[in-house]
Structure 1
Amino acid sequence: MTSEAIGVSTSRAARFLTVALFAAVLAGCSMFGPPKTKEVPIVPAAALYQKALDDMDRQYYATALKSLEQLDRQHPRDAMVEKSKLMQVYANYRSGKLNEAVLAADRYMALYPNGKDAAYVLYLKGNAYFAQIKDITRDQQLSKDAIDTYNLVISNYPRSEYAKDAKEKLLVAYDQLAGKEMSVGRYYLGQGQYTAAINRFRTVVEQWQTSTHIEEALFRLTESYLSLGLTTEASTAAAVLGHNYPSSSWYKEAFALLGKQGLAPTVNSGSWMAGLRR
């Protein structure tokens, strides 16, 4: 046999041996079956819940959430699940996962709308929205969401310990919305779009009377109405401002602004603002 023939024969034998070894490996694998996955041991619900509480005491919120989620998976019909759902809202809120806290609150309320902790869950949901309220130059949907949620707490659970704090936070949320209206109104005023500006300031005066922007809103109404030549409405806005806030610096400006045109603050009984005097 030539050297070339020997080389070809050796090469074929090597390929055959490789294929045979690969087949043997596959056969060996099939004998032992698929690789086993690591099984999570079943832990009593009470133990998982206590571990979660201990972790939250140490501010290990991510670890606590894992224990609570394990509780839900392993013991879906256990009475502890309701507490677990509650603590998931709390843990997400405390760890700064505010959107997750809102979702967790919605899950709790869907499962336990009349649960004994429903007031607290709604309160935490409102706080999660409240903590995300941005500056007044941005969209204020979060302020509206906070207001809606706090109003649910107040109307559904008026005697709960959370209703009082919800009322206080409402004032801040209202102030955010009023501030947004004022910001847009001032822009329109600066652009000479007086009717559009009036609509914004009127919203503040009619809807957000407890806000810190009410005095300026009445002054801006005076200014806007004067710019349109509506002197009766301008005088009424200034008169209401002076009646409700006589020591306000905004009233002094409104009084001076009217004086430059020989006008004085006077209430027109037919004005939409006439009933705003307190």
Structure 2
Amino acid sequence: MTGIRSGSLVAAVLSLGLLAGCGGGSGNQPESFENFTAEEIYKRGEYELENTRKPKDAVKYFTEVERLYPYSEWAKRALIMQAYSHHRARDYEEARGAAQRFIDTYPGDEDAAYAKYLLALSYYDQIDEIGRDQGLTFQALQSLREVIEQYPDTEYARSAILKFDLAFDHLAAKEMEIGRYYLKRGHYTAAINRFRVVVEEFQTTTHTPEALMRLVEAYLALGLNDQAQTAGAILGHNFRSSPFYQDAYAQLRGHGLQPEARGDSWLTRVYRQVIQGKWL
């Protein structure tokens, strides 16, 4: 038994060495892969991915498996590994393409959930600094939601939920950034519109307390005291221990006002929902 295992190991190592020669030079033709089995080519791709840390090189091997042995079990494995390798190489568009092909070709396969997750991840991992266009964030949210809804009992759904919350928070951060920009320059109505979006559409994010405080500041600057007081009341009801409430309270007291619901505005309606326990 030991001799057989040793012989198999030697054969495997030799196969990897020969395959390395096939893919090494620029003059080699793809036909050189035809002398090897699907498993041998696939395992060479795994080797490139895990040992040489060259995901782009690994893609070449996985692609050859699919080309030479279409519709085989190894081709199916190679396709999902193409998506993974592209993602590792940060070739996100290619990763999405391979993942989508897997989903379209093998919709009922157990790895379809992972392919869907990789597709969502390819959008999510492109979300970086707040200042960039947020189109990718919306696409990430949509794709993550699909993972959560279509594969609710998987580990990928659990991870997608966490990433969904972070992406959602990212959108709120963008609204806050723009709102602060307008507020600093005295464009109070434009600033209010941005902070209102956070309060109404992103109320479960970490940015809601600051948005309410900024609303107090902006409404006071416009002389709209009822709205400022109501924003302060909502802030105090939900985030009394927040430093943003302390700041808002000081601003109101500086104008001889108290945080309380007054008038009939969109904030008054939000306040009623808060008191009734239908908000936050």
TM-score band (shorter)?
0.7 to 0.9
Which AA in structure 1 matches 2:259?
P
Matches of 1:227 and 1:213 in 2, distance apart? 21
- Checking the alignment, whether the CA contact within 8 Å between 2:66 and 2:76 is kept in structure 1 is no
With over 3 angstroms needed to count, the CA separation of the structure-2 counterparts of 1:269 and 1:163, relative to structure 1, is: farther
| 1:115 Cα deviation from its structure 2 partner | 2.6
Matches of 1:273 and 1:226 in 2, distance apart? 19
Equivalent residue for 1:161?
155
Per-residue CA deviation, residues 113-169 of structure 1 (Å, 9 max, x unaligned), is: 333211111212222222221211221122212111111111111110111111111
Equivalent residue for 1:257?
251
- Checking the alignment, whether the CA contact within 8 Å between 1:171 and 1:210 is kept in structure 2 is no
Count residues with an aligned counterpart.
242
Which one of the candidate residues 37, 40, 44 is aligned to 2:37?
A: 44
Matches of 2:57 and 2:153 in 1, distance apart? 35
Equivalent residue for 2:200?
206
Which AA in structure 1 matches 2:163?
K
Per-residue CA deviation, residues 182-226 of structure 1 (Å, 9 max, x unaligned), is: 111111222322222111101111222232211110001111222
Which one of the candidate residues 71, 87, 93 is aligned to 2:65?
A: 71
Matches of 1:52 and 1:38 in 2, distance apart? 15
With over 3 angstroms needed to count, the CA separation of the structure-2 counterparts of 1:255 and 1:66, relative to structure 1, is: same
**Sequence identity (%):** 41
Equivalent residue for 2:140?
146
Larger Rg: 1
Equivalent residue for 2:8?
none
Equivalent residue for 1:272?
269
Alignment gaps of 5+ in structure 1:
1-36
Equivalent residue for 1:104?
98
Runs (4+) of structure 1 exceeding 6 A deviation are none
- The yes-or-no answer on 1:186 pairing with 2:180 is yes
Matches of 1:257 and 1:83 in 2, distance apart? 62
Equivalent residue for 1:57?
50
Matches of 2:31 and 2:154 in 1, distance apart? 44
Alignment gaps of 5+ in structure 2:
1-28
- Checking the alignment, whether the CA contact within 8 Å between 2:227 and 2:263 is kept in structure 1 is no
| 1:255 Cα deviation from its structure 2 partner | 0.7
Matches of 1:106 and 1:144 in 2, distance apart? 18
Matches of 1:272 and 1:69 in 2, distance apart? 58
